[in-house]
Amino acid sequence: MGNNSQVARKKAMTAQIVKLAWRNLWRNKIRTGIMLASMVFGLMGVVTMMGFLSGMYVSMIDNAIAWQTSHVQVQNKRYLEDPDINEVIVNPAALYSELDRLPQVSAYSARVVADGMVASARANRGIRINGVNVTDEAAVTPIAAHIEQGTWLPETGRYPVVVSQKTAERLRLSLGSKVVLTFSDVNKDVTGAAFRVRGIYRSPSSSFDDANLYVRQQELSKLAGVEGVHEIAVLLDASQSGDSFDNQGAELVAQALMKVSSTQNQIRDWQQVQPMLATIISQMGVSNGVILLIFVTAMGFGIINIMLMSVFERTREFGVLMAVGMVKSKVFLLILLESCLLGVTGAALGLLGSFAVIALLGQTGIPLGSMSEGLGAFGVDTTLYPVLKTGEYFGVFLIVVVASMLASLYPARQILKLRPVDAMSHKH
Amino acid sequence: MSIEISQLSKTYNQESDFPVHAVKSLDLTIEQGEFVAVMGPSGSGKTTLLNMIGGIDTPTSGSVLIDSENICELDDKALIAFRRDHVGFIFQDYSLLPVLTALENVEFVMQLQGLSEKVCRARASELLTMVGLGEQMHKVPSKLSGGQQQRVAVARALAPRPRFVMADEPTANLDAKSTSELLDIMQSLNEKEGTTFIFSTHDQRVIKRAKRVIVFEDGKLTEDKQQ
């Protein structure tokens, strides 16, 4: 009973100090208002910038997975070292049957790949020729939905080819134009055939567009004399693949495939296929951290300034509080709480504003305008949609509040080292 | 409860070439329930003496015995507890917390003692009514006159039921009417509750009402008379 009432009294005292801290915070409404406004607008800028960067990285990663790496890829190990047309995947049937069995696999596409030349009547250039199963490829990559002119590869008709807008421009091609594809066959002899342009696509990555065209697999296999495939690209179900930065689902599928695959094959998840993506993900935390650190440091100095002014002009008042019996730990708590409440209010309002801005821009997007050409080389969409995870909002909130509290330590120390009589003799 | 002061001295700027001797080898005894005025010109050491008796300043030498306990030897924690539980302070500029109401100001010092909310509320209301501020207790200090604020300060000083109240020039900022009302209140509390009051003052109106007057000059006691 005694303990309970003691706890209740301590709680009442703490509540009184919180009340006092809150009211002290608003003693100078203009000063507190200006500090809060700078925190709110600063946070909105920083958080939106973080969302912008995250959105850009998400766009790069999503596009890379969608167009280039898929979630998992299988190749012959020797093909990876030296992309010889003879180095096909060993025993692909076992892999197909496992892929059909795995529930998290949404689709997969087996490809025959040949590095060769594409030539029009005007020009020629080096290109990667992807021999694909028309339906499977359309299920694994978004290419069928990104045909700007004409259609995706048809199931029938002689030697259709789908080229990128960029290749079409360079070789001055239009729908129905004839191009000649040449490449080495399995005997290392040059072979090739004339194809008709049936579709022109455009992906978000200009470098990908520069390097890839699509033909039907059976025609490429026949021309090259290849039996088998060079690459299997696996796409996971959206609910299984996690968010853009999560590699776990892909790792699990890769492990399952390894169990049934020949050891001559190499099975890699998307981060292994493009280690740059893993670097981007790890860099993203660093860049966001640096932006946040700069803001928090600037904000911290602002709060130190505000707290110094606020505390020093009340030096006599603190002296009186100590004289009437307020222990130093409670005086410290009072100053800490004033700063903490400033941080909590600023962070809450700033993040609320940031959330609204990001939600709005998440709907409308930010057109990159002239920047889109340059960023297109890295696979970034022409319109960016800023994103920030809930955990990141909480993280920013926590960092701002902790920084606010740290900023009060110096002003608090200046007061606490005074004796009551010295503090009371302070004239302001 | 008596206050026994023995060979009490306070020197400021001791290390410098020009030390200031605020209080010099003072011997003084104040008994429980006295109503004492300490008078003297500015800089005579009145406030320094009150600060040392109240435990908010430490002497250079000598002792202040409160019920035979030398408060000059108490550590920081014990000194805070001593001030909180045994001393009430009234300051010239009232020194109320401007963000708290009169009632909350009075309650606050009792909450520091760890008293329950209910007890704090009841005693604070009672004291504020006693000093004539029953109707004004929910106002913040800036909404009260100087005299009313000093009455709140008196209620705050008495709230923790202190053994003695130190009042440093409590009427310096008050007009004649407010001074008279404040002295009536303090005198009545002194008589009813036996609380010891020690004032530093120049104010003849206060000196006339004091039962004992101590005259201080240049850090030394020059006169000590009962009235």
pLDDT per position as a tens digit, A101-125? 999 899 999 999 999 999 998 899 9
Q: Which residues of A touch B (CB under 8 A)?
A: 5-6, 8-10, 12-13, 16, 20, 23-24, 27, 316-317, 320-328, 330, 419-421, 424
Do residue A120 and residue A151 come from a single domain? Answer: yes
Residue predicted with more confidence, A373 or A226: A226
User: DSSP labels for B60-127?
Assistant: SEEEEEETTEEGGG--HHHHHHHHHHHEEEE-TT----TTS-HHHHHHHHHHHTT--HHHHHHHHHHH
Do residue A165 and residue A118 come from a single domain? Answer: yes
Do residue A269 and residue A285 come from a single domain? Answer: no
Do residue A114 and residue A241 come from a single domain? Answer: yes
Do residue A287 and residue A408 come from a single domain? Answer: yes
Do residue A126 and residue A268 come from a single domain? Answer: yes
**Cβ distance A118 to A167 under 8 Å?**
yes
Do residue A310 and residue A376 come from a single domain? Answer: yes
- Report helix, strand or coil for B45: coil
Kindly state whether B111 is in contact with chain A, defined as any CB-CB distance less than 8 angstroms. Answer: yes
Asked if B116 lies within 8 A of A9 by C-beta distance, the reply is yes
Distance CA A98, CA A245 (A): 25
| Phi/psi of residue B67, nearest 5 degrees | 50, 50
Amino acid in position A272: Q
Kindly state whether B89 is in contact with chain A, defined as any CB-CB distance less than 8 angstroms. Answer: yes
Do residue A118 and residue A263 come from a single domain? Answer: yes
Q: How do residues A258-274 score in pLDDT, each as one tens digit? A: 999 999 999 999 888 88
Q: Show the domain range for A245.
A: 72-273
Asked if A323 lies within 8 A of B56 by C-beta distance, the reply is yes
Domain count, chain B: 1
Q: Is the pLDDT of residue A239 over 70?
A: no
- Please say which residue of A273, A299, A316 terminates a domain: A273
A420 contacts on B by Cβ (under 8 Å): 56
Angle at A310 between CA A20 and CA B120, to 5 degrees: 20
Q: Show the domain range for B171.
A: 3-226
Distance CA B109, CA B161 (A): 11
Asked if A325 lies within 8 A of B117 by C-beta distance, the reply is no
Do residue A138 and residue A77 come from a single domain? Answer: yes
Do residue A111 and residue A257 come from a single domain? Answer: yes
Q: Is the pLDDT of residue A176 over 80?
A: yes
**Cβ distance A357 to A414 under 8 Å?**
no
Do residue A241 and residue A148 come from a single domain? Answer: yes
**Is this complex scored with an ipTM above 0.85?**
yes
Testing the interface with B: which of A315, A332, A421, A427 to mutate, by most B Cβ within 10 A?
A421
**Cβ distance B214 to B224 under 8 Å?**
yes
Q: How do residues A68-108 score in pLDDT, each as one tens digit? A: 889 999 999 999 999 999 999 999 999 999 999 999 899 99
CATH of the domain at B137: 3.40.50.300
pLDDT at A1: 46
- Please say which residue of A251, A273, A295 terminates a domain: A273
Domain count, chain A: 2
Q: Is the pLDDT of residue A312 over 80?
A: yes
Closest chain B residue by Cα to residue A16: B108
- Please say which residue of A243, A273, A303 terminates a domain: A273
Do residue A410 and residue A298 come from a single domain? Answer: yes
